[in-house]
Structure 1
């Protein structure tokens, strides 16, 4: 098992949550692929979209799988210009590679903002550290353990 998945498992345990991590036979890199693998709607997939601020901080936007981040709205919420995170810097800071970024288990703290559309579901599915590992969780619990602000930032 990868170090990334172990960190997600440890974060679930630290929050006194059940280990719902599953390894899928195929990639869950895209929201459509993840929904097919999990047997849920695309809207129930949590996309972890990471942006960088000018000062090198990272901001994680937990986005419903059928939504897209609106960069202008996202920057307004943060109060600073945002750019796409550089893959190597992202991996060094969070411990996750693009395609498997989990909302929990990061090596360093990140500011987190959550799409209110995710709150419409009983269960959502998020990456668990690799492009083939996912976990299920209630969106209100995900919001609580990530410390995410729930604000609209989608197009």
Structure 2
């Protein structure tokens, strides 16, 4: 991984860097040498635990086609029934829907700066971690933040969204 100068960032990552700066965030965006499309790939490239990857998963709310963004720990599978209980019935979001609604490609969906403001939920398991990594608008771009910074930037409620083995 390497910190990349603003000028060398892909366009979507530049947009995220400016959004982060507007939120008072001062750390640089990091470009992974290999894709960070999956939590395991991102964690391997960063040398961190999979749980520290704050993955962005987009669903489509059936009632109004609104985007629903769940920011979950990379170690967790999202329990769609728990999410649906909070926001209404969910449908799958294909790559085109994700790009149109968020402005980002799958694998690069940032927690902020969406084309359409999504309904958002944050996985409560992320709050137990000191350091998180989130996508910065491009499948190779990430940024480091705390769970508290994530909550402050997004304003999203923190809830239980994880599929539990004992459930």
Shorter-normalised TM-score: what interval?
over 0.9
Moved over 6 A (4+): none
SS at match of 1:140: helix
Q: Report the Cα offset of residue 108 of structure 1.
A: 2.3
Give ranges in structure 1 of 5+ residues lacking alignment.
none
Q: Which residue of 1 aligns with 2:94?
A: 86
TM-score w.r.t. length of structure 1: 0.95
Matches within 5 A, 1:95-106: 95-106=103-114
Partner of 2:148: 140
CA distance in 1, matches of 2:154, 2:28: 17
Identify which of 8, 14, 30 aligns with 2:16.
8
Q: 1:58 aligns with which of 67, 71, 74?
A: 67
C-alpha distance in structure 2 between counterparts of 1:29 and 1:9, whole Å: 19
Partners of 1:143 and 1:37 in 2: CA distance: 25
CA distance in 1 between partners of 2:16 and 2:156 (Å): 17
Alignment check: 8 A CA contact 2:77 2:162 kept? yes
The 8 Å contact of residues 45 and 65 in structure 1, kept in 2 or not, is answered as yes
- Work out the CA distance in 1 between the residues paired with 2:142 and 2:83: 25
Deviation digits for residues 18-44 of structure 1 (CA, Å, limit 9, x no counterpart): 133101111111111111111110000
> Could you say what the CA RMSD is over the residues aligned between the two structures, in angstroms?
1.1
- Give the corresponding residue for 1:118: 126
Q: CA deviation at 1:117?
A: 0.6
Partner residue in 2 for 1:39: 47
User: For residue 56 of structure 2, what is the aligned residue in structure 1?
Assistant: 48
Q: Does the aligned pair in 1 maintain the 2:124–2:161 contact within 8 Å?
A: no
Deviations 1:24-75 (A, max 9, x none): 1111111111111111100000110010112110010000000011111110
- The number of residue pairs the alignment matches comes to 154
Whole-angstrom distance in 2 between the partners of 1:35 and 1:50? 20
- Separation in 2, partners of 1:19, 1:8: 12
